[in-house]
Amino acid sequence: MEVAKIDLRGLNPSSPGWGKACAAVTASMVAHGCVVVVHDAISPELRQAVFDRAMPQLFAFPVETKQQNVSSDTALKGYISKVPGADFESFNVNKVDEARSFHDFSNIFWPQGNPEFSNTIGALARKVIELEDMVEKMTLEGLGVREENIASHLHALTHVLRLSHYCVPEDAKMGVTLPAHTDPSLVTALVQHEVEGLEVQTKDGRWIAIPPEADTITFMAGDLLTLMTNGRVAASVHRVKTLSNRERYAILCASSVKNSVAISVMDEFVDHGNPPKYNSVKTDEYLEFRYSGEGFKSSQPLEEYCGVHKCGSTE
């Protein structure tokens, strides 16, 4: 099965097609850790305001200004650039569920305020979060998680927005600007714009390119979804490869669980034959590990950090 492309326009839990759509979203998430969703969340005007104006304006600031995007949260570093093996730079806006996050972020660049910028990015974030929560709900529902457990899970979510800019690949033949990895999130939503790049790896090792279509958003499972589902949904292994040698912008929205709530394997995925494979984690501790030297090098960071076999099991 290829990565599914599923039309969620106009769909809600009381629509007649909801159950079928949940099954299709879940099947693609289980097979590939990834699903492509057709939506009408981002109007052509909003897309243009974000990618043709806000993003180029933001990345044109000098590096000293960009570096003022720091996070009080030690794990998520704020502005990053020159990651080993990657030719890109990226801003982090934390807790985007809170209205003031974009205001605070835009004040770094425009101390007198820039409502057009913060409203534009804020509007995009709200739409993406709404769709991301829906995809998360559909995936859990499709896997048989009880309604009340899904509701309390959705209640505990928080979201981080990443605004990324990729330079023209240095090695034009290879075109890779971000090497293969999994995300430390629960789910990552990815909004591409005009320039190709995202590729996801199938379980048999092939790479599938996800084209940058204007009416789609791609959702990928991250490590924390693997934890919660006791391995039923493997995190998507993905990379960025731009063979057309163009600069590229992309926006990511990563969901995770508020740090005050531990993330554990959900009851529905545990029985006699399936003991929990992972110990509970706190989001920040796991992110801290992922961004540390050890976590960065690891090919199986989730197993390494909280796999049950690491903690004195006899298996």
Per CB under 5 A, which of residues 200..259 are in contact with Fe ion?
A: none
What stretch of H or E contains 178?
Answer: strand 176-181
**Least separation, in Å, of the C-beta of 49 and ligand AKG?**
20
CA distance 180 to 303: 17
The CA radius of gyration of the chain, in Å to the nearest whole number, is 19
Residues of this chain that bind ligand AKG (CB under 6 A): 164, 178, 183, 190, 192, 197-198, 238, 240, 250, 252
Give the other-Cβ count within 10 Å of 24's Cβ.
Answer: 18
Considering CB distances under 5 to 8 angstroms, the limit depending on partner class, which of ligand AKG, Fe ion, none binds residue 240? Answer: ligand AKG
Residues in the interface with Fe ion (CB under 5 A) total: 1
Interface segment toward Fe ion; rule CB under 5 A; list 6-14, 30-38, 117-125, 182-190? 182-190
Residue 37 CA, chain-centre distance (Å), reads 14
Q: Which residue is nearest to Fe ion (CB)?
A: 183
Closer residue to ligand AKG (CB): 87 or 183: 183
Interface segment toward Fe ion; rule CB under 5 A; list 91-99, 139-147, 183-191, 204-212? 183-191
**Least separation, in Å, of the C-beta of 13 and ligand AKG?**
29
For residue 185, the number of C-alpha atoms closer than 13 Å in the C-beta half-sphere is: 26
DSSP string computed for 80-148: EE--TT--EEEEEE--TTSTHHHHHHHHHH-TT--HHHHHHHHHHHHHHHHHHHHHHHHHHHHTT--HH
Are 105 and 118 in contact by the 8 Å Cβ rule? The answer is yes
Considering CB distances under 5 to 8 angstroms, the limit depending on partner class, which of ligand AKG, Fe ion, none binds residue 6? Answer: none
The one among 183, 196, 199, 223 contacting Fe ion by CB under 5 A: 183
CA distance 253 to 255: 7
**Least separation, in Å, of the C-beta of 71 and ligand AKG?**
16
By CB under 5 A, name the binding residues for Fe ion.
Answer: 183
